[in-house]
């Protein structure tokens, strides 16, 4: 084994004492430490709560938090996702103890000042209004509400705004106390740190929790639905076609990832080749399949002139039927499998992403070891798998069109 590889020590430590999991990837000599924390909290309450985490704790004001982070040259990030809330931190390894103490303060002692809460609500409503004015976002919002009626994944902008308007500070405080319990959290750390040192900071809390905050299951809707939204200010038509796929736990998940790449990822994809390159009918086209704990959407999108809308829809559905009926070639399959694996390796060049992937796989329930196994699952996808999952999942489309006409 080469010395450069042997110098990298990988330790996966699953500590059950307080946090549901603590995963540590030791990378001696990097001089940096990245932390990713995943909390089982989702929905509009989670989004608002996440925005309030750094607005003040029992011992620190918002300005003090920002000042301490800045003084270390560190960075902190907070995100709200359909499946979780994420908190990330990156610092020099010598500053990890201070950074860990700040993170734990945010996660345990935030006080939700009324003034900051009022401002956060106003900011959230402004963001929703901005999203409603974005054709891409509005089309996708409508599509998700069609795919996921009465489910958190399908909560519309209108419903989110209504929640923000009526929610009280005490509502968020209660949500915070219920959700921000260590047994609802996964902590992943990568960098110049030992597992023992990480455990000293993230394995010593006595705050309990039941670890329960599960998403409801998604129910299928076996019928086609079409919806058109008029907007006289649009200069083009926005088209989105969605199908209900499956979750990250399903054996079909890797094949659907490859299928979405074949259909709509990059200039070598079928939709780009046929609808844009050969026909020149769209400004943009593609497909994506997000990774979700529950059944995810498989979405095809296009932006085109109004006169070309029906032609574009026909071409898209033709390509979908073609991949159902005719097996892909070995060369095409291998090309897209290499592309997925290559992007995955490149993403791991960033220390923060190393921690993020370990934590995400653990948080969704696949286990941190999936970080290394995922490329193997992609590589194992066969020609017959692509045709099978296309036939199984690409049916009962939900179609949204935003148009000025």
Check which CATH number belongs to the domain holding 12 and give it: 3.30.830.10
Residue 301 CA to residue 236 CA, distance in Å, equals 13
Q: Determine the structural domain holding residue 156 and report its residue range.
A: 3-202
Task: Name the band, by pLDDT with cuts 50, 70 and 90, for residue 199.
Answer: very high
pLDDT in tens, 124-164: 999 999 999 999 999 999 999 999 999 999 999 999 999 99
* pTM tops 0.85: yes
Task: Quote the number of domains for the chain.
Answer: 2
Mean predicted confidence (pLDDT) in 267-286: 97
pLDDT the model gives residue 211:
46
- Shared domain for 188 and 321, answered yes or no, is no
pLDDT in tens, 10-40: 444 443 334 568 999 999 999 999 999 999 9
On whether residue 363 sits in a domain, the answer given is: yes
Mean predicted confidence (pLDDT) in 83-111: 97
- Shared domain for 125 and 245, answered yes or no, is no
On whether residue 211 sits in a domain, the answer given is: no
pLDDT the model gives residue 175:
98
Mean predicted confidence (pLDDT) in 283-289: 98
Q: Which pair of tokens denotes residue 16?
A: 């059950």
Q: Measured at the alpha carbon of residue 122, what is the angle toward residues 120 and 128, in degrees to the nearest 5? A: 100
Residue 1 reports pLDDT greater than 50:
no
- Shared domain for 234 and 363, answered yes or no, is yes
Residue 5 reports pLDDT greater than 70:
no
pLDDT in tens, 205-258: 543 344 456 789 999 889 999 999 999 999 999 999 999 999 999 999 999 999
Residue 4 reports pLDDT greater than 80:
no
- Shared domain for 294 and 198, answered yes or no, is no
pLDDT in tens, 305-341: 999 999 999 999 999 999 999 999 999 999 999 999 9
* Domain C-terminal end among 144, 169, 202: 202
Measured in residues, the chain has a length of 405
- Shared domain for 300 and 375, answered yes or no, is yes
- Shared domain for 321 and 360, answered yes or no, is yes
- Shared domain for 51 and 180, answered yes or no, is yes
Residue 7 reports pLDDT greater than 80:
no
* Domain C-terminal end among 140, 167, 202: 202
Mean pLDDT of the chain: 93
- Shared domain for 247 and 372, answered yes or no, is yes
pLDDT the model gives residue 21:
87
């Amino acid at each position: 084994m080469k010395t450069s590889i042997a110098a990298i020590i990988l330790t996966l430590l699953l500590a059950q004492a307080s946090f549901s999991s603590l995963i540590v990837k030791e990378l001696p000599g990097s001089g940096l430490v990245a932390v990713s924390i995943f909390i089982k909290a989702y929905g509009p309450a989670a989004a608002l709560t996440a925005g309030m985490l750094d607005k003040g704790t029992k011992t620190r004001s918002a300005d003090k938090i920002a000042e301490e982070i800045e003084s270390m040259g560190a960075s902190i990030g907070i995100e709200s996702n359909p499946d979780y809330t994420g908190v990330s931190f990156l610092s020099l390894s010598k500053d990890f103890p201070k950074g860990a103490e700040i993170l734990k303060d945010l996660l345990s002692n935030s006080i939700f000042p009324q003034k900051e809460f009022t401002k956060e609500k106003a900011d959230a409503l402004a963001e929703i209004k901005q999203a409603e004015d974005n054709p891409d976002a509005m089309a996708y919002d409508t599509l998700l509400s069609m795919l996921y009626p009465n489910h958190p994944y399908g909560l519309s902008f209108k419903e989110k705004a209504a929640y923000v308007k009526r929610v009280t500070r005490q509502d968020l405080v209660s949500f915070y106390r219920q959700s921000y319990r260590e047994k609802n959290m996964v902590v992943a750390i990568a960098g110049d740190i030992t597992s023992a040192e990480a455990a000293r900071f993230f394995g010593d809390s006595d705050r309990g929790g039941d670890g329960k905050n599960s998403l409801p299951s998604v129910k299928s809707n076996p019928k086609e639905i079409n919806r058109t939204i008029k907007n006289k200010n649009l200069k083009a038509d926005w088209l989105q076609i969605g199908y209900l796929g499956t979750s990250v736990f399903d054996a079909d998940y890797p094949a659907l990832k490859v299928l979405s790449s074949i259909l709509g990822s990059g200039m070598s994809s079928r939709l780009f080749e046929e609808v844009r390159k050969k026909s020149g009918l769209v400004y943009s086209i593609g497909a994506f399949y997000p990774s979700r704990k529950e059944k995810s959407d498989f979405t095809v999108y296009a932006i085109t002139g109004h006169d070309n809308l029906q032609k574009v829809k026909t071409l898209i559905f033709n390509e979908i039927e073609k991949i159902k009926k005719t097996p892909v070639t070995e060369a095409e399959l291998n090309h897209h499998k290499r592309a997925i694996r290559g992007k995955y390796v490149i993403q791991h060049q960033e220390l923060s992403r190393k921690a993020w992937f370990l934590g995400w796989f653990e948080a969704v329930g696949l286990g941190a070891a999936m970080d290394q196994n995922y490329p193997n699952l992609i590589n194992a996808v066969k020609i017959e798998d692509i045709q099978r999952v296309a036939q199984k999942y690409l049916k009962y489309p939900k179609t949204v069109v935003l148009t000025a006409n």
